[in-house]
Amino acid sequence: MSDQKVYTDFKDDMTYADYLSLDSLLSSQNRLSGHHDEMLFIVIHQVSELWMKLIIHEIQAACQSLKENQFEPAFKQLARVSKIQEQIIKAWDVLATMTPSEYIEFRDSLGKASGFQSYQYRLIEFSLGYKIPHILKIYKQDQEVFNMLEKAYHSKGLYDIAIEKLAEAGFEIPDEVLNRDFSNPYQKNTEVKAAWSEVYKDSQTYWTLYQLAEKLVDLEDWHQQWRFRHMKTVERIIGFKKGTGGSSGVNYLKSVLDSYFFPELWDLRTEL
């Protein structure tokens, strides 16, 4: 049965395609080799960049919510980040359907372009406290991107704001933690661990901070799964070859698996 009320005259109205800018979005998959599987490679990476854009949007909103002591919105935003991370992990499963024989047919077309250069991924890492000094050099040719990354590099991360919430709740947090140089990677601290341990031991009293801690653990857990799935997909397709951007490829991806954004939240689990 047809629906007689379906709107069909769009001469003066915006369409679905207009709203989503589908003309530009769907014309951005430009294969350089003409090889069939290059389309898969492009789409997977573009989809991942769109998801990362949303991750950044939600993390920035969560940071602002926490600064304003709006915990419930922050929890919603961080929970959404974890769900997005799950989607990106699934994307690697699709890319893994491409074999080494298929990838080498168009790999040279990438030149020195590499996912290692994703500035959005760097923004995510910076917001979570993982900062490497030399990485900014990659982006110097684009001043707007460089300025954005440099600002994030010197700014507080999500965990720094969470630690401030501990201090505001009355826990003794050292000044060198609260007012540290935020361009340096976070180093775990015994007083911070003691504060989080107290939160976990008396979760009913500190229920809001307890929920915040678990949201952070969720986020890091999913991020580590993302890293691992990325590493195994790359190993499956190119083995231990160097990345197109000059990185060590799988060896680099393996090296970051043991790094933690929120170390005290993991360490305290052994001691509880």
Residue in the block written with tokens 């709107």: 7
Residue 135, pLDDT > 80, answer yes
Residue 56 is encoded by which pair of tokens?
């950044």
Q: Could you tell me the residue ranges of all domains in the chain?
A: 42-271
Q: Which residue has the higher pLDDT, 135 or 36?
A: 36
pLDDT at 40 over 80: yes
Write down the residue that tokens 């799935």 correspond to: 229
Q: What does the alpha-carbon distance between residue 222 and residue 191 come to, in Å, rounded to a whole number?
A: 26
193-207 confidence digits (pLDDT tens): 999 999 999 999 999
Give the confidence band of 12 by pLDDT, cuts at 50, 70, 90.
confident
Is 102 buried (19+), middle (13-18) or exposed (0-12) by CB count in 10 A? middle
pTM summary value = 0.92
d(CA 188, CA 267): 10
d(CA 233, CA 93): 8
pLDDT tens across 50-60, in order? Answer: 999 999 999 99
Residue 77 has pLDDT above 60, yes or no: yes
How confident is the model over 232-258, as pLDDT tens digits?
A: 999 999 898 887 777 777 888 888 888
Does residue 82 register a pLDDT over 90?
A: yes
Residue 32, pLDDT score:
95
Residues annotated within the binding site for substrate are 41-45, 103, 107, 244
Contact 158, 129 (CB under 8 A): yes
Compute the mean pLDDT over every residue in the chain, rounded to the nearest whole number: 93
Q: Supply the pLDDT for residue 63.
A: 98
| Residue in this structure with the two tokens 């769009």, named with its chain if needed | 10
Where is the binding site for heme, in residues? 230
Q: Which CATH architecture has domain 42-271?
A: Up-down Bundle (1.20)
Helices (H) and strands (E) in the chain, counts: 13, 0
* Alpha carbon distances (Å) from 162 to 6, 122, 203: 49, 20, 16
Average pLDDT, integer, range 142-169: 97
Binding-site positions? 41-45, 103, 107, 230, 244
